[in-house]
């Protein structure tokens, strides 16, 4: 009989149709986020699951779903998955790198520019009917072109942002990363490696693209914000929790930095109430990868992984983007 799989959120019908070619598919068409107990109940009898950041797959969930063989996340970030626990249980985990890199970099740039040029703050003013006359310093912000772009986390997305800044806007690019990039990648991105303190001190525009983990928790807090220029902007498209949102709201309110752009939040979809009170922050609901084409490519890549992981399709046994390939048995 055909393996049974769970699609834990509503996804594009054409991707579900691909899964139905191989599997008995249960889809969460209502798109209500499952409680932990409901997720465990729905996983009974399933060999595979497609998840998003809203489903937490930890060792307890894995223990309660012993038939599970593959967890395919529709996201590049995977801090919702306990990959070591899955590996210990022989469960394959996959994510969706590469297909979202350029789209996400575009959005990082959009947020950075919106923060620096006060796009949403000035629009709110206009919509409130407060625009009575032009003024010489009205909503004056800071330049992007020629400024220093600081990137924290120089993975694929960080590099794509660096290329935009260096080649498109003539920015000076500096970055900090766990390890220094190869010289040819630095040359392609026109990026210089600096310490985290130098990054914070020198950046006119800081963009955060570092994955969330215990070691990146509150990588930007009050002490780090205090090193930044009062004219600087901060953009977070990585994960909530990399930035201390309460400390950031305080820094914005006190004009310790000029502005921020945030697509991700600690405890999202809740947003720290202090952030909602400060005008100099652009807030978006975790949409950096959200173009129709890219969200479809992400779901299709997750489906490719699930189909291959359970032994079907042209890549049977060789899922394209495994996180723990060591669980795959040699063919």
The set of catalytic residues is: 239, 268, 286
Angle, CA of 101, 102 and 108, to the nearest 5°: 90
In the complex with ligand GLV, the residue whose CB is nearer, 147 or 209, is 209
Cα separation of 125 and 85, whole Å?
Answer: 50
CB atoms within 10 A of CB 1: 4
Cα separation of 216 and 55, whole Å?
Answer: 21
Cα separation of 290 and 190, whole Å?
Answer: 28
CB atoms within 10 A of CB 134: 6
Question: Least distance in Å: CB of 168 to ligand GLV?
Answer: 19
Cα separation of 324 and 93, whole Å?
Answer: 6
In the complex with ligand GLV, the residue whose CB is nearer, 155 or 322, is 155
Question: Least distance in Å: CB of 302 to ligand GLV?
Answer: 10
Contact residues: ligand GLV, CB under 6 A:
75-77, 97, 100-101, 155-158, 209, 211, 289
Give the distance from CA 17 to its chain's centroid.
27
Q: Which helix (H) or strand (E) holds 186?
A: helix 183-189
Question: Least distance in Å: CB of 105 to ligand GLV?
Answer: 9
Give the distance from CA 19 to its chain's centroid.
25
Structure tokens at 21: 């070619």
In the complex with ligand GLV, the residue whose CB is nearer, 101 or 202, is 101
Q: Which position has the token pair 């625009």? A: 131
The residue number whose beta carbon is nearest to ligand GLV equals 155
Question: Least distance in Å: CB of 255 to ligand GLV?
Answer: 30
Backbone angles phi, psi at 217, to 5 degrees: -60, 125
Identify which of 45, 44, 49, 52 has the alpha carbon closest to the alpha carbon of residue 27. 49
For the chain, the helix, strand and coil percentages under 3-state DSSP, each to the nearest 5 = 40, 15, 45
Cα separation of 158 and 175, whole Å?
Answer: 9
In the complex with ligand GLV, the residue whose CB is nearer, 141 or 155, is 155
In the complex with ligand GLV, the residue whose CB is nearer, 155 or 319, is 155
Question: Least distance in Å: CB of 156 to ligand GLV?
Answer: 4
In the complex with ligand GLV, the residue whose CB is nearer, 47 or 104, is 104
Cα separation of 50 and 39, whole Å?
Answer: 12
Question: Least distance in Å: CB of 271 to ligand GLV?
Answer: 16
């Amino acid at each position: 009989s055909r393996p049974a799989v769970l699609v834990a959120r509503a996804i594009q019908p054409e991707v579900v149709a691909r899964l139905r070619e191989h599997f008995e598919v249960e889809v969460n068409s209502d798109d209500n986020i499952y409680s932990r107990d409901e997720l465990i109940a729905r996983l009974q009898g399933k060999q595979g699951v497609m998840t998003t950041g809203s489903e937490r797959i930890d060792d307890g969930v894995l223990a309660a779903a012993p038939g599970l063989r593959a967890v395919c996340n529709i996201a590049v970030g995977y801090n919702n998955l306990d990959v070591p626990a899955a590996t210990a249980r022989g469960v394959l985990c996959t994510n969706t790198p590469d297909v979202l890199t350029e789209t996400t970099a575009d959005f990082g740039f959009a947020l950075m520019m919106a923060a620096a040029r006060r796009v949403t703050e000035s629009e709110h003013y206009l919509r409130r009917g407060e625009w009575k006359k032009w003024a010489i310093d009205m909503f004056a912000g800071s330049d992007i072109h020629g400024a220093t772009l600081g990137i924290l986390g120089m993975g694929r997305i960080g590099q794509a942002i660096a290329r935009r800044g260096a080649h498109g806007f003539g920015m000076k690019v500096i970055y900090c990363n766990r390890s220094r990039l190869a010289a040819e990648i630095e040359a392609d991105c026109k990026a210089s490696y600096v310490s985290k303190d130098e990054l914070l001190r020198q950046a006119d525009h800081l963009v955060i693209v570092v994955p969330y983990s215990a070691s990146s928790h509150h990588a930007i807090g009050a002490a780090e914000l205090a090193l930044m220029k009062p004219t600087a902007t901060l953009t977070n498209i990585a994960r909530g929790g990399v930035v201390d949102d309460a400390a950031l709201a305080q820094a914005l309110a006190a004009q310790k930095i000029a502005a921020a752009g945030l697509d991700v939040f600690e405890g999202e979809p809740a947003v720290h109430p202090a952030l909602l009170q400060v005008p100099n922050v652009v807030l978006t609901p975790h949409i950096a990868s959200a173009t129709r084409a890219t969200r479809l490519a992400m779901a299709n890549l997750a489906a490719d992984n699930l189909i291959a992981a359970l032994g079907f399709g042209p890549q049977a046994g060789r899922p394209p983007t495994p996180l723990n390939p060591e669980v795959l048995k040699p063919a």
